Chain A
Amino acid sequence: MTGILLALAAALIWGMGNVWVRLALQGMRPTTVSVFSLFIGLLLLFPLALILHWDDVTGITGGVMLTIFFYGMANFLTGRFLNYSSISRIGLNRAIPIVASSPIFALILAVIFLDESVNAFIILGTLVVMAGVLMIVTERR
């Protein structure tokens, strides 16, 4: 039960965070909002990482650091910047559901690079997500 409540709290906080992003974008460029939000988020997360996992932080090898670098580029550079830019252009209600379809792309890449298998559930879920995205992008303003 605790795990479910924590996960729901994360979803609620992210939801509210997107509203704050929308408000910040009224007076700032997406790049600035992205960098500033990353900086503030780091102030919260990095000390936690150091306190809880000091040995892991100091023991990271070059190869692992390279993987983390690419992860950081995909998630926090292009992902966050494009996400905020899309909110700035088409608003929260239309941008966020499209951005949330990322598990489909994760799946495609996992099938290609990690030999992950696909089952009927996954095909059904992908079709449902695509139908949802199609409904949003064909909405006339």
Chain B
Amino acid sequence: MTTETGRSNIIGYLLATGASVSYGASLVLAKQVVEDVPALVGSSIGMIFGMLVLGAISAKDMTRDRKASRRSFVWAGLSGLAAGGGIALMFLAMSKAPVVVVAPMIAVNPLTAILFGQIFIRNMERLTPRILGGALLVVVGVIIISLGRNA
């Protein structure tokens, strides 16, 4: 492993951990939000705030990316539809079944990402037994935590 790659990996792991901390904080805040408004309303308005602030901060980046390929915009658009559709399905699931049932099902999403990655972009993603084992442990651990929190 070159020093350059090693440094990039460390930055990547720190960014992923930062995302995890942010999502963790958002889960706590979401608990407060849904006491006052339906989850769909809280999520939609939260998305508007997130988009506006991130858009304002990254206006220069977006200007540079305006000449990106049409295909890149299609992938980004599809990812947005998937993220929004996933949220809608999750809320729908929670209206039909208790959280203790829904949360473990939702928790398997890293495995579905890895599965689809292996099917569709295998040339871009390297999967080793160690990474798969680590992902499985994360999913099992998150399921145990969600069961423990709802026990």
Residues of A participating in the B interface, judged by any CB pair closer than 8 Å: 2-4, 6-24, 26-29, 31-46, 48-49, 52-53, 56-57, 60-61, 64-65, 67-83, 85-86, 89-110, 113-114, 116, 119-122, 124-137, 139-141
Contact = CB atoms under 8 A, between A and B. Distances in A.
A110 B138 CA distance: 20
B131 A136 contact: yes
B27 A102 contact: yes
Interface of B: 1, 5, 8-9, 11-13, 15-33, 36-38, 40-51, 53-55, 57-58, 61-62, 64-65, 68-69, 71-73, 75-90, 92-98, 101-102, 105-117, 120-121, 124-128, 130-131, 133-149, 151
Please provide the 3 A-B residue pairs with the shortest distance between their CB atoms, ordered closest to farther.
A3-B97, A76-B50, A105-B24
A27 B94 CA distance: 36
Given A14-B112, A125-B148, A74 B136 contact: no
Given A64-B37, A89-B11, A104 B54 contact: no
Q: Which of B68, B142, B151 has the most CB of A within 10 A?
A: B142
A67 to B, nearest CB: 5
B136 A3 contact: no
Contacts of B76: 20-21, 24, 28, 32-33, 36-37, 40
A78 B22 contact: yes
A39 B83 CA distance: 11
B28 A14 contact: no
A10 B106 contact: yes
SS of A interface (majority): helix
22 contacts: A3-B93, A13-B86, A17-B79, A20-B75, A27-B71, A38-B80, A41-B87, A45-B44, A67-B33, A68-B46, A76-B50, A77-B50, A77-B53, A79-B22, A82-B22, A86-B18, A92-B125, A98-B19, A106-B24, A106-B25, A121-B144, A139-B134
A93 B71 CA distance: 22
Contacts of A48: 40, 44, 88
B51 A114 contact: no
A20 B84 CA distance: 13
B86 A76 contact: no
Contact of B145 (A26, A44, A103, A131): A103
Given A14-B109, A97-B134, A132-B137, A29 B23 contact: no
Nearest to A39: B51
A44 B147 contact: no
A14 B111 CA distance: 10
A28 B64 CA distance: 9
